[in-house]
Copies of this chain bind each other. A is one copy, B any other.
């Protein structure tokens, strides 16, 4: 379960037995959890149980996923602590990162840097598939030669144009609403479904992260509380243009979202040339996990398969990666977006301006350090 780090460079890395023992229930992560009642109601101002035992007054993120290191934030006030059916949920007000959402001892978002993750996980895929209002066959977009010769899906005749452009988006996880907020910037999307397993996440976000949960206010959004894996199995083939998987790490409730059967369900639920973007860990810490994800995706997604990454200060090693893939069909060139969000500023009125994403950052996200490029590209052969 614990992943050895150290793929980046060549000095030996020791597995941290003490860390593993400390975290042997893998949802404690060094945070004292004893005495927490299993309740779904919102309790406030309990200043004790969830604070890290290692730095009094600070929250420290210790996990076997990143042995031997910990990022700590100074806590001003615990705003919420609860245990849902699936995980421990905590919200605290930090000294310098605003409110912070923690699931099973791991930081999911802070008000200060959530923009980087939410904007990149959404606009990397959605800016890479055509926007019907801009014309599917304009000069700036790829022509879909392959479609004409493939018997598996219909030719892009005018009647099918709408089907090929972006109109239906599914979010798996992402209960805080931040991904919804970013999807809703795309005015041509007609339907936004979200399947989140844990209602407590939705509720605490509404109460403590109003600028994040604002995503739910969009009338195109339908919330399904349930298991994303089961939800996807029930989806009719070819339903979605884009599926965004905003999961936590592959220990705990999100484990299945990193496995091959899940990716097979995603591929089936996507239309030809549809895209998936899924949270895919850190190149500095989890190269072995990434290798497996890339290998699985290359088997399952017959269109493009790319790895991108970006800076998020409060995630371990300060970065997070994304796996971007498309199904066989109209080709998708993730590195050269065809649907620039920046040119349409209507979305800023309700959701505020983009803080992080722009077209240069889009292209830059696919540039990988040599040590990571070597491993990821070797999986392409």
* Chain A residues engaging chain B, CB cutoff 8 angstroms: 5-6, 8-9, 11, 13-14, 16, 19, 54-56, 58, 60, 66-74, 94-98, 111-113, 115-116, 284, 311-313, 315, 317-319, 353-358, 360-361, 363-364, 367-371, 373
**Beyond A356-B369, A369-B116, A369-B358, is A72–B60 a contact (Cβ under 8 Å)?**
yes
Instruction: Give 9 CB contacts A-B under 8 Å.
Output: A8-B115, A54-B55, A69-B72, A69-B74, A115-B371, A284-B311, A355-B370, A355-B371, A358-B367
Q: Are A361 and B356 in contact (CB under 8 A)?
A: no
Bound Cα distance from A13 to B76, whole angstroms:
12
Nearest-CB distance from A54 to chain B (Å)?
5
Q: Name which residue of chain B comes closest to A312, CB basis.
A: B318
Q: Are A360 and B371 in contact (CB under 8 A)?
A: no
Q: Name which residue of chain B comes closest to A18, CB basis.
A: B74
Bound Cα distance from A151 to B94, whole angstroms:
57
Most buried by B among A8, A69, A112, A355: A69
Cross-interface CB contact of A67 among B14, B96, B318, B368, cutoff 8 Å: B96
- The SS class assigned to the A binding surface is loop
Q: Are A95 and B369 in contact (CB under 8 A)?
A: no
Q: Are B373 and A369 in contact (CB under 8 A)?
A: no
Residues of B with C-beta under 8 A to A113? 8-9, 284
Nearest-CB distance from A314 to chain B (Å)?
8
Bound Cα distance from A361 to B374, whole angstroms:
13
Residues of B with C-beta under 8 A to A68? 73-74, 94-97
Q: How many copies does the complex hold?
A: 2
Bound Cα distance from A273 to B6, whole angstroms:
40
Bound Cα distance from A111 to B324, whole angstroms:
31
Bound Cα distance from A200 to B69, whole angstroms:
27
Bound Cα distance from A355 to B6, whole angstroms:
13
Cross-interface CB contact of A317 among B54, B67, B318, cutoff 8 Å: B318
Bound Cα distance from A11 to B6, whole angstroms:
36
Residues of B with C-beta under 8 A to A66? 96
Most buried by B among A6, A116, A355: A355
Bound Cα distance from A6 to B111, whole angstroms:
10
**Beyond A55-B55, A72-B69, is A112–B6 a contact (Cβ under 8 Å)?**
yes
Most buried by B among A8, A11, A96: A96
Q: Are A70 and B55 in contact (CB under 8 A)?
A: yes
Q: Are B67 and A95 in contact (CB under 8 A)?
A: yes
Bound Cα distance from A312 to B240, whole angstroms:
37
Cross-interface CB contact of A319 among B5, B69, B311, cutoff 8 Å: B311
Bound Cα distance from A97 to B354, whole angstroms:
35
Bound Cα distance from A19 to B368, whole angstroms:
36
Q: Name which residue of chain B comes closest to A114, CB basis.
A: B9
Bound Cα distance from A367 to B167, whole angstroms:
30
Q: Are B11 and A111 in contact (CB under 8 A)?
A: yes
Nearest-CB distance from A208 to chain B (Å)?
13
Q: Are A72 and B73 in contact (CB under 8 A)?
A: no
Nearest-CB distance from A70 to chain B (Å)?
5
Bound Cα distance from A95 to B364, whole angstroms:
32
Nearest-CB distance from A10 to chain B (Å)?
9
Given A318-B318, A356-B369, A356-B370, 16 more A-B residue pairs with CB atoms under 8 Å apart are A9-B98, A9-B113, A11-B112, A14-B95, A54-B54, A54-B56, A68-B96, A113-B284, A116-B369, A311-B318, A312-B318, A313-B318, A313-B319, A358-B373, A360-B368, A364-B364
Q: Are A9 and B358 in contact (CB under 8 A)?
A: no
Q: Name which residue of chain B comes closest to A52, CB basis.
A: B55
Q: Nearest 8 CB-CB pairs, A to B?
A: A318-B318, A68-B96, A68-B95, A364-B364, A364-B367, A360-B367, A313-B317, A68-B74
